[in-house]
Amino acid sequence: MSGLARAGTGSPLARRNPTVKLALLAVVSLVAMFLLDPVTPTVLYLVGLAAVAFSAGAAPRTLLVAHVPFLLFGLGVLVVNALSRPGVAVWQAGPLRVTEEGLSVGAALAARTLLIGVLAVGFLLSTDGVALMTSLHQNARLGARITYAVLAGYRMLQEMPREWSTIRHAHAVRAGLPGGGRAADGQGDGDGERDRDGAGVDGDDDGRPGRAGTPSVRPPGRAGTPAVHPPRGPRHLVGVVFTLLVVSVRKGERMAQALESRGLGLQPRTTWRPLPVTGQDWALAAGVVLVVAAVIAASAALGTLQGPGALFEPAPRPAG
Amino acid sequence: MAAPHTPPATRRPGWAMADLVLMVVLGVVFGFAYWALVQAWNGLSILMGPAGDLAQHVLFGGWLLVAPIAVAIIRRPFAGIAAEVIASVVEVVFLGSPVGPTLMIAAAIQGAGSELPFALTRYRRFGWAVFAVAGLLGAGLVFFYSAFRSGWYGQEIFALRLAVQCLSGIVLGGLLAKVVVDALARTGVVDNFAIGRQRDRS
């Protein structure tokens, strides 16, 4: 999930300017949106896979694991299009019918998913979050206030899994109390008045145990085993998400005060550890653009290239 | 929080730092929650079997939540668009999304759709109806872009997709946002933002 946390520093791709990499990722994604034949995006994907494997310094296993969501997503897209597109049927069973056009468009979309996916993985594996924001500030003229707000948010994101489990445990403790640990004053909405921290979950400023008067021990789940699993179910989940939101909003307010009190927003600014755009970055950009253009041109010359028209008209049939 | 000395008068920043950070915080929390939503989507699409691809439309409104919430709390032009885009940046750049940077374009369209009804009331009305229209437009406008991006044009279930997505937008992306905003307001954590100041005045 947090690819950036593990960003390597030694690989060739990791030494390139983050803004340049992000721009290239955006450009290729945009171009890929207009490719609707199966061959062109597949070729681009294979080229991209090779490039990422060699330049991002990722272990083959990491790359393979990262592929799982894209493969599942791509498979879903392929199946839906195969079944839901009018055209020449190649297979039929009851109400289900697979069309040639559906297979073609579906395969194109699935290959696009893989292409963008593998490039995104390459970007995430080779880019440090802080370096990215510094580079966006310096090279892409992103405002200092936004840059540092996002950086603070990034830090918050890194802490979020821990925060999440803290809240879940806090809720689990309270789940053993009568009334689910809510304030037993008949208000119905214990989050409102009694504690202003959502569900009093911070732990540091609301540590009163067993507010409702009973010891905060959950009824044992099975004979004698103390039940330590947090409760599950959508209701519990909603409570945890909402508490996370409340705690984070409060934290954000404190963060904003801290940022302002340290003089953020004053001009002129200097940058610590500046990230220049070097000749090698331009070479990378030129290389990527040339390769993509060459693949598309070759595909057009061979007659395999298809644009968005493939969505509306039947695929060209081979003559004869 | 009055500063003891006058701030530099050269440039009055349009946005308070607290508003900016709040948007980032909303973006981060919802980016994180969206990740959970993606898991729900995967689960639902498996449950729905052959109709699984429609699961994304059923849950679509969930991805709209952040824009109306940000607008209702900050009450400034472009707050909704900015919050939605920031959430997508978190999703794409920090969490990783198979859709890639084109998701940010979708986010901008979603944010624009969600914010439009609030802008038309000049950020003064925050009733159920405005939220419902925000959800409807947020889901409706982006549909045509998504349809192009995902190749839904020409599919036999095009109209069904649109209907399910709009309904989801109204419920999950509009009405639920109002529930969240009201719940947040009750906790008191947003008292120092425009939503709290507005309430004090009235």
What band does A319 get if pLDDT is binned at 50, 70 and 90?
Answer: very low
Does residue A268 have a cis peptide bond before it, meaning omega lies within 30 degrees of 0?
yes
Query: pLDDT tens digits for A99-118?
Result: 888 889 889 999 999 999 99
Cβ within 8 Å, pair A198-B187: yes
pLDDT, position A89 = 80
Whether A2 shows a pLDDT value over 50: the answer reads no
Closest CA to B65 of B193, B170, B142: B170
pTM of the model: 0.77
Cα B110 from Cα B113, distance rounded (Å): 5
What band does B162 get if pLDDT is binned at 50, 70 and 90?
Answer: very high
Predicted ipTM of the assembly? 0.83
pLDDT, position A200 = 42
pLDDT, position A195 = 43
Tell which wins on pLDDT, A1 or A141.
A141
A260 touches chain B (CB under 8 A): yes
CB neighbourhood size of A318 (10 A): 5
What band does B100 get if pLDDT is binned at 50, 70 and 90?
Answer: confident
The length of chain B is: 202
| R_g of chain A, CA atoms, integer Å | 27
A31 touches chain B (CB under 8 A): no
Residue of A nearest to B38 (CA): A69
Whether B182 shows a pLDDT value over 50: the answer reads yes
Closest CA to B138 of B162, B160, B105, B116: B116
pLDDT, position B96 = 66
A37 touches chain B (CB under 8 A): no
Where b means 16+ CB within 10 Å and e means fewer, A94-129 reads: eeebbbbbbbbbbbbbbbbbbbbbbbbbbbbbbbbb
Cα A251 from Cα A271, distance rounded (Å): 26
Shortest distance, CA A101 to any CA of chain B (angstroms): 10
Cα B154 from Cα B177, distance rounded (Å): 33
pLDDT, position A52 = 92
pLDDT, position B15 = 79
What band does B69 get if pLDDT is binned at 50, 70 and 90?
Answer: very high
A30 touches chain B (CB under 8 A): yes
Whether A240 shows a pLDDT value over 70: the answer reads yes
